[in-house]
Chain A
Amino acid sequence: MSEVIVITSGKGGVGKTTTTANVGTGLAKLDKKVVLIDTDIGLRNLDVVMGLENRIVYNLVDVVEGNCRIKQALIKDKRYPNLYLLPSAQTKDKTSVTPEQMKKLTDELREEFDYILLDCPAGIEQGFKNAIAGADRALVVTTPEVSAIRDADRIIGLLEANELKRTDLIVNRIRMDMVKRGDMMSIEDVVDILAVNLIGAVPDDEQIVISTNQGDPLVGSDALAGRAYMNICKRIQGEEVPLLDLDTGNGFFAKLSSLFKKN
């Protein structure tokens, strides 16, 4: 049975696109057939994070306007046999697509794919409404900051009002050193405040920046964030995976211990 999952946050810059890229790639690594849809019309980004920016011919707006067939617009990621991207349009705006059209599109893709991931734009306007229209469930991404959590709370309320079956939380960019000295809210604090199921926490890891530079999602790698993302993918599939211990001291020891774990 296929699932349509929207990745959303309200606030911009908390890691929606990075999360979409990593979760999508991770699910493909777990042998699922996955399509990623960038719904941020006008501000196309998922293609660069995925490293597929040079292969775009058609986009989301072309598909809904009927300029091409869905298959023509899907970019096959050559690194993973089951992974596809439907890029967004860069020259149109959010009103080029309606929620009804998005629902029709996702329903068509259900026949072909196990997971359809929608990268939602920031905000709660038309773009958000388009992205959630056809979704079964949502991953709400937040960081341990007052502004991001406030927006996440608003988003969770809107998702409930739109009767999505399930909403899970990803706490992104956790810095355990700051949590330890009391200068950052802990994962427990954030979950406590938002009162929603936690599906994973991702540490603030410089490897993320490096992988984004290279256009190659780091999910599944030995980096702490890579392992955290892979755990999230497994939990999405319904596996019970204990929360990763992010408290591994500094980066050097984290790398060292992960080296030993691998061997």
Chain B
Amino acid sequence: MGLMDFFKKKNSGEVAKDRLKLLLISDRANCSPEIMEMIKNDIIKVISKYMEIDAEGLDIQITQTESDASNGNVPALCANIPIKDLKQANKDV
């Protein structure tokens, strides 16, 4: 898993803190895995209209981002969508 490789060099206290931060954001957002799955499927549908994407490799997560409007961090939906064929995308658009 890519995420684990990313954390490998960190000590376990850091790992715990990072895991907790993500966990609490999704806990607080009260977003169930079922809903996340539905969002994911809908995203695949929409993007697939315009380009060929790797549905297997698609990953969505609720994370944090800094907001200009409000002070501090706000939850953000972060989608990582690998594109398989960009040519197709260019042709279509």
Tell me the A residues contacting B by CB distance below 8 Å: 144-146, 149-150, 153-154, 157, 178-179, 181-186, 189, 193
Nearest opposing residue in chain B for A145, CB measure: B16
B16 touches A185 (CB 8 A): yes
- Kindly provide the distance from the CB of A177 to the nearest chain B CB, expressed in whole angstroms: 12
A182 touches B11 (CB 8 A): yes
Which residue of the partner chain, among B13, B20, B23, contacts A183 with CB atoms under 8 Å?
Answer: B13
11 additional A-B pairs beyond A150-B23, A153-B24, beta carbons within 8 Å, are A145-B16, A146-B23, A153-B28, A178-B13, A179-B13, A181-B11, A182-B12, A183-B11, A184-B12, A185-B13, A193-B17
B24 touches A189 (CB 8 A): no
Task: Pull 27 A–B residue pairs with CB atoms less than 8 Å apart, ordered by A.
Answer: A145-B16, A146-B20, A146-B23, A149-B20, A149-B24, A150-B20, A150-B27, A153-B27, A153-B28, A178-B13, A179-B13, A181-B11, A182-B11, A182-B12, A182-B13, A182-B14, A183-B12, A183-B13, A184-B12, A184-B13, A185-B13, A185-B16, A189-B13, A193-B17, A193-B20, A193-B21, A193-B24
Cα A235 to Cα B36 with chains together (Å): 43
B14 touches A154 (CB 8 A): no
Nearest opposing residue in chain A for B12, CB measure: A183
Report how many residues on chain B are interfacial, defined by Cβ distance under 8 Å.
13
Give every chain B residue within 8 A of A154 (Cβ-Cβ). 27
Give every chain B residue within 8 A of A185 (Cβ-Cβ). 13, 16-17, 20
- Kindly provide the distance from the CB of B7 to the nearest chain A CB, expressed in whole angstroms: 13
- Kindly provide the distance from the CB of B8 to the nearest chain A CB, expressed in whole angstroms: 14
Cα A164 to Cα B28 with chains together (Å): 19
B84 contacts partner chain A, Cβ-Cβ < 8 Å: no
Give every chain B residue within 8 A of A182 (Cβ-Cβ). 11-14
B19 contacts partner chain A, Cβ-Cβ < 8 Å: yes
Give every chain A residue within 8 A of B16 (Cβ-Cβ). 144-146, 185
Nearest opposing residue in chain B for A180, CB measure: B13
Give every chain A residue within 8 A of B20 (Cβ-Cβ). 146, 149-150, 185, 193
A186 touches B24 (CB 8 A): no
Give every chain A residue within 8 A of B14 (Cβ-Cβ). 182
CB neighbors of A among B4-37 (8 A): 11-14, 16-17, 19-21, 23-24, 27-28
Give every chain B residue within 8 A of A193 (Cβ-Cβ). 17, 20-21, 24
- Kindly provide the distance from the CB of A160 to the nearest chain B CB, expressed in whole angstroms: 11
Give every chain B residue within 8 A of A157 (Cβ-Cβ). 28
Cα A178 to Cα B14 with chains together (Å): 12
Cα A182 to Cα B19 with chains together (Å): 15
Cα A157 to Cα B24 with chains together (Å): 11
